[in-house]
Amino acid sequence: MAAEVPEDNAPDECPQVRDLAEAFKVLSDANRLRILFHLATDTTGTLGVSDLAARVGISQPAVSQHLKLLKSDGLVESERVGFHVNFTLNRARMVQIAGQFEQVRSIVLSRCNQQLVREKIPEGPLNIAIIYYSYSGITRGLMEKVQEVCGGDLIEIHTLKKYRSFTAFTTGCLRSRNEEKDQVTPDTIDVSAYDLLVIATPVWAWKPAPAANSLVSGLIGCAGKKAFVCTTYSSNPGHCLPILKKNLEEKGVVVAGEAAFSRRETEDSHHVMELIRMIIEAYQT
């Protein structure tokens, strides 16, 4: 059996681990959770030890002990008013704990995803080029998650002339509707060494952003290559993927898979996992 790592020497993978462990210790008691529930649903802000004892159905000294622990972790705050002490929930601390838990959960999930890829691809990371344009970071964030799990090279395309939000929705959308190209950097990308291209763009006016048209047109050595196309959108992806596919096929690229992600889905680990599974499938076919 592996020896337990002494607390002080534990190499914390996530800096919040110890803080979260303390919070979980405090939360690991049904009566303390009941107290938190009553404080969370109380709208008066005047609950005292005797009120909580009556609501939870335990003695006042027991409630006092639980409140002491909850206060020591910052989950509960108190205020003395004359002879009475009012207890309230510290919502900021609850939000902090929820955020820390989410961080740990996503680290664990990403490790699980990497493990899954290792099982599916025993020979190592995928030989893929992940090429994308991103205006406000959503597509970038999604592609970074793909790269974190699958490996491969991340290549971001930038417009030479930056869009402001006004010009994006005026000039940018007009250019996108006309399926025009922007001047971008890099303007050419040699993809001859890769086994799969992952091409991603945000939807602009129901079509690929103009920079994505330039991206496709600047591909070198892509004839006969497989591609997986991906788009992120807010409410309606329109014709974005069909146009992206048509442009790639005109360059001799074989489109082996596609996915459209709403902004909310880019934050959902199950959807991201499904995207990764589809990319691996496209890689292996």
Ligand X SMILES: Cc1cc2nc3c(=O)[nH]c(=O)nc-3n(C[C@H](O)[C@H](O)[C@H](O)COP(=O)(O)O)c2cc1C
Nearer to ligand X, 35 or 184 (CB): 184
Report the alpha-carbon distance of residue 214 to residue 180 in Å, rounded: 8
Q: How far is the CB of 134 from ligand X (least distance, A)?
A: 3
Q: How far is the CB of 108 from ligand X (least distance, A)?
A: 26
Helix axes 30-41, 60-72, angle to 10 degrees: 80
Nearer to ligand X, 48 or 186 (CB): 186
- Contact between 87 and ligand X per CB under 6 A: no
Binding residue for ligand X (CB under 6 A) from 173, 174, 260, 278?
A: 173
- Contact between 152 and ligand X per CB under 6 A: no
- Contact between 203 and ligand X per CB under 6 A: yes
**If you search the block for the tokens 């001047």, which residue do you land on?**
183
Report the alpha-carbon distance of residue 279 to residue 271 in Å, rounded: 12
What are the structure tokens assigned to 168, written together?
């994006």
Write out the H or E segment, with its range, that includes residue 238.
none
Nearer to ligand X, 78 or 136 (CB): 136
- Contact between 69 and ligand X per CB under 6 A: no
Write out the H or E segment, with its range, that includes residue 242.
helix 240-250
User: What 3-state DSSP class applies to 45?
Assistant: coil
- Contact between 170 and ligand X per CB under 6 A: no
Q: Give bridge partners of residue 185 from the DSSP assignment.
A: 158
Q: How far is the CB of 57 from ligand X (least distance, A)?
A: 50
Q: How far is the CB of 64 from ligand X (least distance, A)?
A: 51
Contacts of 52 (CB under 8 A, 6+ apart): 35, 38, 39, 63, 67, 87
Rounded to 5 degrees, what are φ and ψ at 186?
-70, 150
Binding residue for ligand X (CB under 6 A) from 47, 75, 172, 257?
A: 172
- Contact between 205 and ligand X per CB under 6 A: yes
- Contact between 210 and ligand X per CB under 6 A: no
Q: Give me the residues that bind ligand X (CB under 6 A), please.
A: 134-140, 168-169, 172-173, 202-206, 232-238, 263
